[in-house]
Amino acid sequence: MLHLRLITPADRTDDVVRLIEGTVGTTHLAVLPGAARNPSGDLVMCDVAREAGDELLTDLQQLGIEESGSIAVENIDLSLSKRADEAEKEAPGEGADAVLWEHLTEATHEESTLSITYLAFITLATMIAACGVVLDNAILIVGAMAVGPEFGPLAGICTAVVQRAPRLALRSLIALLVGFAFAMAVTVGFSYFMDAVGLFTEAKLEADRPNTGFIYAPDWFSFVVAVLAGAAGTLSLTSAKSGALVGVAISVTTVPAAANAAVALIYGDAEQTWLSTGQLLLNLLGIVLAGTLTLLAQKWFWTKQRQRKSALEGSAP
């Protein structure tokens, strides 16, 4: 269930209440006239089944509530209410399958912002991965994958394509490209330092690396895994099952490939540099393709659900 807290102008409160009462899957409606002070207006609260949340939010926006008042949405972790159980049963579909498009857009907008924190995480992840490729240490590679924040901008690109939001697409693309470019540049400097103190050597990079050799060996398996991980990551974001994102992060070879390219560059190994770059691009392409197709499939599914619901309501006596 979701909890909605609305501030509505007094002259629109009746319209909002009628809308909420007419939406299948809503309950626990409460109206506090004149309770809001900034902005001034009435306070309206209700609970809604997650699968009915996107439709209600869209209708509220069409009333202009976000412009003249406010719309706040919170997840309800526990709701002990028979009426809430009935509301969930009445709403079409399953809550785990529902997509809150506004929430997804907002989340990906925040995650795809080119901030100091984002640059710090992707740079640190790339440097950890650089140590992993030189030492042929799979644990360090997995750790670097988990630290890397690159899925945020990738999800932002997918969301922007489906929602036709060019600003979000540009913001996400800038964060992705600038982030990797900055991280690789810093890792090149880091690798020079590690080489100077004798911790990195060309012999270690060029030695047989059974645990990390896949990083600079792009193939169809790399693309297939990236596609599967992209679909899983997108489902994780849209269904609020964020725990799956960790598995997604350690399934794709993005940050390790960038790190391997940076280390190989300082030793003049053009082959590893280009192959690692190809691995990076192949994984990014697979994730974006799968993420976009997954969102399109979800959008189609919920459109059909709404059409089926409208048809049933229209045929009701």
Q: What is the DSSP letter of 22?
A: T
Domain identity same for 24 and 108: no
Domain identity same for 223 and 292: yes
141 is a domain residue: yes
Lowest mean pLDDT among 78-82, 150-154, 170-174, 204-208: 78-82
Domain identity same for 114 and 261: yes
**Three-state DSSP class for 240?**
coil
Domain identity same for 84 and 107: no
End position of a domain, from candidates 37, 70, 97:
97
Domain identity same for 222 and 265: yes
Lowest mean pLDDT among 52-61, 91-100, 143-152, 181-190: 91-100
**Three-state DSSP class for 130?**
helix
d(CA 16, CA 61): 11
Lowest mean pLDDT among 108-117, 167-176, 185-194: 108-117
Does the pLDDT at position 298 exceed 90? no
Nearest CA to 84 out of 57, 55, 43, 46 is that of: 46
Select, from the ranges 23-32, 89-98, 109-118, the one with the highest average predicted confidence (pLDDT): 23-32
Rg value, the chain, Cα = 24
307 is a domain residue: no
pLDDT of residue 283: 93
Which CATH number fits the domain that encloses residue 34? 3.30.70
Nearest CA to 232 out of 308, 179, 277, 294 is that of: 294
Our count of domains for the chain comes to 2
End position of a domain, from candidates 75, 97, 119:
97
Domain identity same for 179 and 53: no
pLDDT in tens, 256-287: 999 999 999 999 999 999 999 999 999 999 99
User: Domain residues for 77?
Assistant: 2-97
Nearest CA to 143 out of 153, 133, 152 is that of: 133
312 is a domain residue: no
End position of a domain, from candidates 97, 128, 158:
97
Does the pLDDT at position 75 exceed 70? yes
pLDDT of residue 173: 94
Name residues whose C-beta falls within 8 Å of residue 84's C-beta, 6 or more positions apart in sequence: 1, 27, 28, 47
311 is a domain residue: no
Domain identity same for 110 and 93: no
Domain identity same for 196 and 47: no
Tell me the percentage of the chain whose pLDDT exceeds 70: 90
